[in-house]
């Protein structure tokens, strides 16, 4: 693996130095680009660059000299054991590296994922709960969680993953979905203008079922066949428990606007 060194920082002077862990993922890439555009000195950290947050390899070296570490890590699993091991271990390692460097952490999370009523049948969300707990224990108020509702992009990803020929499945998930780019903007704001809060709750402009989002995406992309709604993950996902009771940020991009921009 290539090694990341402190000398890889590209901007001198007073620019905020930010390490993005998980920079190769959807949100990590968006945050990296947006921070760069706003003048931050960004180091993109991921396995391809020699940083493995779960094992800790290359992590401390990458974080040296940083002001903020942004955790945008992701894993594709619904196994609670795998998700908790991944997110909990990585958060502990990142927190330790950030402490050593004197940096604070901004972590991407999911609205209400730590609520047992929400995550009881969702192994991935249990992993996010373990991540939040690890940061709270290690860093306290030196970590801010930016919790978002589900992204429009999630509906597309899920139907792609749950497709067989002309048939696609989509779980009922009543939420207030948002464009991932709007979620990235909320993270960037927290990095550059820290609130000092434990958590920032971010939701989209309209409450809707992700089944309807998936149908709109398939229609906009000219996909035929059948989209079959399914019950998965428990009643909380279907009754609006994914929506924060009090949002700090309500994003503005509607589904129609996002579809128009993505076509």
- pLDDT per residue over 214-252, tens digit each? 999 999 999 888 999 999 999 999 999 999 999 999 999
pLDDT the model gives residue 224: 85
Whether residue 6 has pLDDT greater than 60 = no
How many beta carbons lie within 10 A of that of residue 246, not counting itself? 6
Q: What stretches of the chain show up as alpha helix (H) in DSSP?
A: 26-37, 59-63, 80-101, 116-119, 123-139, 152-161, 180-192, 210-220, 255-262
Q: Is the pLDDT of residue 3 over 60?
A: no
Looking at domain 6-149+178-204+244-252, its CATH superfamily turns out to be NAD(P)-binding Rossmann-like Domain (3.40.50.720)
Handedness of CA 218, 256, 205, 186 (dihedral sign): positive
pLDDT mean across residues, the chain: 94
Domain boundaries, the chain: 6-149+178-204+244-252
pTM value is 0.94
Taking only the tens place, the pLDDT of each residue in 63-86 is 999 999 999 999 999 999 999 999
Residue-wise DSSP of 77-101: ---HHHHHHHHHHHHHHHHHHHHHH
């Amino acid at each position: 693996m290539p090694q990341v060194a402190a000398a890889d920082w590209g901007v001198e002077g007073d620019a905020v130095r930010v390490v993005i862990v998980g920079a190769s993922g959807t949100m990590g890439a968006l945050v990296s680009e947006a921070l760069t555009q706003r003048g931050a000195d960004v180091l993109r950290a991921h396995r391809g660059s020699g940083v493995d947050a779960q094992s800790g390899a290359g992590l401390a070296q990458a974080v040296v000299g940083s002001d903020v570490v942004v955790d945008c890590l992701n894993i594709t699993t619904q196994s609670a054991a795998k998700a908790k091991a991944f997110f909990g271990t990585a958060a502990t390692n990142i927190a330790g590296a950030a402490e050593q460097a004197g940096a604070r952490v901004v972590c991407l999370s999911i609205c209400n994922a730590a609520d047992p009523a929400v995550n009881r049948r969702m192994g991935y969300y249990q992993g996010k709960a373990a991540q939040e707990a690890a940061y709270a224990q290690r860093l306290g108020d030196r970590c801010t969680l930016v919790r978002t509702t589900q992204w429009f992009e999630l509906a597309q990803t899920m139907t792609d993953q749950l497709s067989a020929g002309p048939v696609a499945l989509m779980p009922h998930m009543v939420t207030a979905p948002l464009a991932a780019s709007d979620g990235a903007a909320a993270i960037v704001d927290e990095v550059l203008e820290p609130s000092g809060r434990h958590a920032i709750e971010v939701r989209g402009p309209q409450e809707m079922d992700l089944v309807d989002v998936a149908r709109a995406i398939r229609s906009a992309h000219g996909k035929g066949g059948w989209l079959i709604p399914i019950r998965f993950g428990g009643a909380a996902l279907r009754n609006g428990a994914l929506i924060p009771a009090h949002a700090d940020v309500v994003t503005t991009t509607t589904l129609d606007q996002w579809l128009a921009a993505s076509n």
